[in-house]
Every structure is written in structure tokens, then in C-alpha cells.
Amino acid sequence: MPDFRVLYTDRGDYSQDLDLEQPLYEAIGAEIIDARLDHNALDWDTYARYLKDADALICFRVPVQRRALDAAPRLKVAVRSGVGYENFDLAAFAERGIPACNVPDYGSEEVAVHALAQMLALRRRVVFFDRTLREGYWRGAPGSLPMRRLSQQTVGIVGLGRIGREFARRAGPIFGRVLACDPYIPASDFVAAGAEAVELDELLARSDAVTLHVPLTSRTRHLIGARELTLMNPSAVLVNTARGAVVDQLALAEALTSHVIEGAACDVWEREPALFDHPLFQCENFIGSPHIAGISIESQIDNRTKQAQEVVRVLSGQPPVNPVLAED
């Protein structure tokens, strides 16, 4: 009989087994339960049966709300498989005194590099030229636009946390000026990142390229909508590797179709997996990727190891390293 049961509600990659985590759990007598639930078609009765005996849970996209916590009388800790934690009801966790944790530092380099790669592809129109070359145009293809030197352009970073700072470190030598918006960090962090601190509206109006690096909360949901997109320059581009719902993606599709802005790229989607009839896929000035910005062999090892270590830590009677707290 195991001392603990660790419930994996869902995982991002079922091609991998849990051999990396197994030795960590065996050391404290914990058993792994790999439920493989579907967050888009969640059967509550099945979910509740798993929750009933769970001492810890690790989730990817399955929501852990008040009802789930009520169905989990033995639960001592929950860990989100990644940086974001929007599927946790943090107020309910706080009421129960159960730590809700994330893995905030496993893929900062990868996400920053992916955001920069998408931004450079937009600014240099890499996807456009690849497509038109395959269509038989050497130069002068319909839809061609002038390109400006990047060292003469301004990049804006919304959110100067771990990933935002990693982005600034890489983008600073490429772009002529770096702006940043983040009301939660001290002025010294802007200075260290080589960024000028501005409010969001000013950043949108002054930037040639904007990248988003904020968590999804009630304050940041649709942070970028139709109004914000109209503040941007018609020649500007937007990159979102944060969370899909930080951007109103239908408003973004309309802005791209109407040429309110020149281009956009999204690695994240309001619904995941993305629906392939999404209006953004009809926009030729759009680049998409399937929420893989944080993925590398090394980052996945970090993520999986740190999830398990956090669970083992709490089940062994120690405080968590990366608890997340409810908004004020």
C-alpha cells in the first residue's frame, strides 16, 4: 500500500513515460496515477474518482477549481505543469490551506528565443518571402512591403519578469530602443534590462514590435483588444507567447485583415488545441505555432523534475519553493 498517491490529471506529452519522476516518488513511498483526462471534454464523475484518493496532483490544462478541491479530502499540494496557473482557483486553495505551485523558471530562455524568432520572422517577412518564392516570384510579389533596419526600430516588452528580461537581453543589441511596461517591478529592474519604463498605451503607440510576457489573470485577460490594437502603428507587429486569452484573438484577426497592424504571431491560443478554422489562420500576415515556445529537451527535463521535487518536498513536510498566491 503506497504512502501517497500523486495524480497526474493530464500531461502535455504522452509520448513520454514517467520514468524521470518515478525514482523521486519511490523515495517517499508515493504511487503515480496517470489519469490522462481531457480538459476540453472533462467527465466530472471520472475526475472526482481520481481526486478522492489524491494526496498531490500535477495538472497541465485540467482546471482545479473549488469543486475539485471539495472532492479531494486528502490533497496536500497541487502543481501546475509550467509557468501559468490560470486553471487554479487560488482563493479556494488559500481557504483550504493547500499550496498551489507552478514551475516559473524552467523555460525562460526558450520562450524568449521563440518570441524573438517570431518577431524577427515578422520584421524580415521570412514566411511571406518563403511562400512567394515557392509560388514563383523572385521579387516584387503582390503584397510586398518595405522593410526598415531593425537598429532604427523600437521594441516594446509587456511584462518584465523572468521571460521579459531574457527577451530584453537578446533583443537589446538588435533593436535601437527598448521600452517596457510592468507595474509590479522596481525601477532598478528596468535599468538593469536596458529598458525605458512606460505605460501600456504609450508602449503600444511608440513600438514597432511588441511582445507579451504576462500571466493570465482577471487583470490581463484581453489586455490587448480592439482598442489597444488601434493604438499601435500600422507598420507594427505583435507577438504573444504568454497566454492566448491575454489577446482578444478575434479582434486580432480583424485588425490583421483590416491592416490595422502589419503582422502578428501567436504561440498560445484562447482555446487549446487551436481550432483549425480559426480566423487567424486565414490571415496571410500571421504566424502561428502550437504552444511550443518553452519546449526543448533540457527545459522539459527541468519542468518535469521540478514538478516532482515540489510534490516530494511538500509531502515530506517541507514548505513549497514556488507557491502562487491569489490576486488581491
pLDDT digits (tens, 9 = 90+) for 42-75: 999 999 999 999 999 999 999 999 999 999 999 9
What is the CATH superfamily name and number for domain 108-288? NAD(P)-binding Rossmann-like Domain (3.40.50.720)
Domain 4-106+296-315 sits in CATH at 3.40.50.720
pLDDT digits (tens, 9 = 90+) for 206-259: 999 999 999 999 999 999 999 999 999 999 999 999 999 999 999 999 999 999
Element (H or E) spanning 299, and its range?
helix 297-315
For the chain, the average pLDDT equals: 97
pLDDT confidence of residue 325: 87
pLDDT digits (tens, 9 = 90+) for 275-295: 999 999 999 999 999 999 999
Q: Does the pLDDT of residue 328 top 80, yes or no?
A: no
pLDDT digits (tens, 9 = 90+) for 75-103: 999 999 999 999 999 999 999 999 999 99
pLDDT digits (tens, 9 = 90+) for 129-177: 999 999 999 999 998 999 999 999 999 999 999 999 999 999 999 999 9
Clarify whether 131 is annotated catalytic. no
Query: Do the Cβ atoms of 302 and 67 come closer than 8 Å?
Result: no
- Of the pLDDT bands very low, low, confident and very high (cuts 50, 70, 90), residue 1 is confident
Q: What is the mean pLDDT of residues 119-131?
A: 97
Distance of CA 54 to the CA centre of its chain: 27
Q: What is the mean pLDDT of residues 121-131?
A: 97
Q: 123, 125, 165, 243: which one is catalytic? A: 243
Nearest residue to 163 via CA among 121, 107, 122: 107
Clarify whether 228 is annotated catalytic. no
Q: Where in the chain is the domain with CATH 3.40.50.720?
A: 4-106+296-315, 108-288
Q: 278, 291, 304, 313: which one is catalytic? A: 291
For residue 190, the tally of other CB atoms under 10 A from its CB is 22
pLDDT confidence of residue 326: 80
Clarify whether 114 is annotated catalytic. no
Sheet hosting strand 209-212, strand order edge to edge: 196-197, 177-181, 154-158, 209-212, 237-240, 263-266, 286-288
Q: Which residues contact 316 (CB under 8 A, 6 or more apart)?
A: 28
Residues 181 and 158: their CA atoms lie apart, in Å, by 5
Q: What is the mean pLDDT of residues 27-47?
A: 97
